[in-house]
Structure 1
Amino acid sequence: MAEAHPSPGHGPIGFTVAAADFYEDLEDDNSKSYWTAHKDDYEALVRRPMLALTDALADEFGAAKVFRPYRDVRFAADKTPYKTHQGAFVGTAPSTGYYVQIDASGIRVGAGWYEASPERKHRFRQAVDDARKGAALQRILDGAERGGFEVGGDTVKTQPRGWSADHPRIDLLRHNTLTLMRWYGTPDWMSTPTLATRVAADWRALTPLLDWHAKHVA
């Protein structure tokens, strides 16, 4: 990917270590008074750089949803009002797509699906059960893990109903959702346009996972 440039008004691409520090402090004091006192820091250190990054990636991957910083606490036991991370998501199917995040630990990049209807879970498990389709998914995951990504997602504790515990891909069958994620920390390139190049390279590497999902599940 050629060096990317943000849209006018969003500022330069890249998060400084101060963005991670902002979230570390927010974790310590997740209050309206802290947020009000540091809202300008959020805009300058977090939101505008995220908009610049997602604008730079939009031509290749599509427009991103940059999530709001406020938590929905209506039905939550945890009533802290602000998210302790800033995420952005490019959807390729319902609850499925590419993801990038900045938080106190630094940058993380990934892709996958984080929610699924009962019908989609069933189609996923049928595909995993199929020798050819299931083996193709396993090759994608194995290759991504060798490349530094970590397999994640919500799983059931035992085998799902209808499948045997000795199935050769029982670990995959247990997944309700499936993600691949890489954690970078706070490398020097995080604060430069190289960030867009790295995220784009990771998203390209994860496209086979989303293609598999589009073909067999979505």
Structure 2
Amino acid sequence: MTGAFNGWTEQAFDVLLRLEGDPPRQLRESLRKERELHVRQPMIALLNDVADAVPALDDFSVWGFRKESWWWQHQGAVIRIARQVEIGLRFDLDGLHLKAGWHYPDPGQVPRYRAAVVAESSGARLAALTGSLGARGYGLTGDLMKRMPSGLPADHPRARLLRHRSLQAAAPPAGDDVALTPAAVDQVVDAAEELAPLLSWLSHHVAASARAHA
């Protein structure tokens, strides 16, 4: 499906503007077909083109419609890398957002993560990866405990990383100059390449079963 994505159109923003606030169900339903055509279908086309460019990124899902207004106002999608290790995308009135990492941990993943952060070699590697991404404009997010986990010293050199129970790196939003053009494909491919070392670390040290990542 090469070349299918040409960018979101002004109609996509028009539809999302009409869905702002708390739109009644009747209005949402009246815009269902327009939203599908102008908002959701371009996300599918974008991820098909990304998968054409990088075959390892072919396991994706694009969210459909739900009852809550938020799901109509934001078009989400995910590219699966390993168990709970994903690249998440969202298109809304602010443009295209991308966030990648370890989401919603399964049982056993948090202890594996902490053990890998404590271990000198793997822990130092993660600290270097997150530091490098931060220097390139990525924001480090995730479920962060207020205190250190029990049994770990408060002055541990990787204390902040140890407080995470999920970990993602969020790219700066891509504005209209990207979202409205085919350049969004390259934007996602480039971000996936930048994030590949972090995703590989999480797949190897946290996920129950890793999927190879290019």
Q: In structure 1, what is the equivalent of residue 112 of structure 2?
A: 123
Q: In structure 1, what is the equivalent of residue 144 of structure 2?
A: 155
**Residue 38 in 1 paired to residue 34 in 2?**
no
Q: In structure 2, what is the equivalent of residue 5 of structure 1?
A: 3
Identity of aligned residues (%): 31
The amino acid across from 1:160 in the alignment is P
Q: In structure 1, what is the equivalent of residue 49 of structure 2?
A: 56
Taking a change above 3 Å as real, the CA distance of residues 19 and 145 of structure 1, as seen in their structure-2 partners, is: farther
For structure 1, list consecutive stretches of 5 or more residues without a partner in the other structure: 7-11, 72-78
For structure 2, list consecutive stretches of 5 or more residues without a partner in the other structure: 208-214
Q: Are the aligned partners of 1:92 and 1:210 in contact in 2 as well (CA < 8 Å)? A: yes
Q: Secondary structure at the match of 1:168?
A: coil
Q: Are the aligned partners of 1:14 and 1:191 in contact in 2 as well (CA < 8 Å)? A: yes
Q: In structure 2, what is the equivalent of residue 199 of structure 1?
A: 188
The amino acid across from 2:87 in the alignment is Y
Q: In structure 2, what is the equivalent of residue 76 of structure 1?
A: none
Work out the CA distance in 2 between the residues paired with 1:80 and 1:101. Answer: 15
Compute the RMSD of aligned alpha carbons. 1.8
Aligned residue pair count: 203
How high is the TM-score relative to the length of structure 2?
A: 0.87
Q: How far is the alpha carbon of 1:94 from its aligned partner?
A: 1.9
Work out the CA distance in 1 between the residues paired with 2:174 and 2:203. Answer: 31
Work out the CA distance in 2 between the residues paired with 1:170 and 1:18. Answer: 47
Work out the CA distance in 1 between the residues paired with 2:133 and 2:17. Answer: 29
Q: In structure 2, what is the equivalent of residue 188 of structure 1?
A: 177
Taking a change above 3 Å as real, the CA distance of residues 186 and 124 of structure 1, as seen in their structure-2 partners, is: same
Q: Are the aligned partners of 2:84 and 2:103 in contact in 1 as well (CA < 8 Å)? A: yes
Taking a change above 3 Å as real, the CA distance of residues 185 and 195 of structure 1, as seen in their structure-2 partners, is: closer
Q: How far is the alpha carbon of 1:131 from its aligned partner?
A: 1.4
Q: Secondary structure at the match of 1:14?
A: coil
Q: Deviations over 1:65-100 (max 9, x none)?
A: 1112215xxxxxxx6574431111111112211122
Q: In structure 1, what is the equivalent of residue 12 of structure 2?
A: 19
Work out the CA distance in 2 between the residues paired with 1:113 and 1:180. Answer: 9
Work out the CA distance in 2 between the residues paired with 1:69 and 1:183. Answer: 26
Taking a change above 3 Å as real, the CA distance of residues 63 and 216 of structure 1, as seen in their structure-2 partners, is: closer
Q: In structure 1, what is the equivalent of residue 101 of structure 2?
A: 112
The amino acid across from 1:175 in the alignment is H
Work out the CA distance in 2 between the residues paired with 1:211 and 1:44. Answer: 35
Which deviates the most, 37-46 or 107-116?
A: 37-46
Taking a change above 3 Å as real, the CA distance of residues 124 and 17 of structure 1, as seen in their structure-2 partners, is: farther
How high is the TM-score relative to the length of structure 1?
A: 0.85
The amino acid across from 2:8 in the alignment is F
Taking a change above 3 Å as real, the CA distance of residues 30 and 165 of structure 1, as seen in their structure-2 partners, is: farther
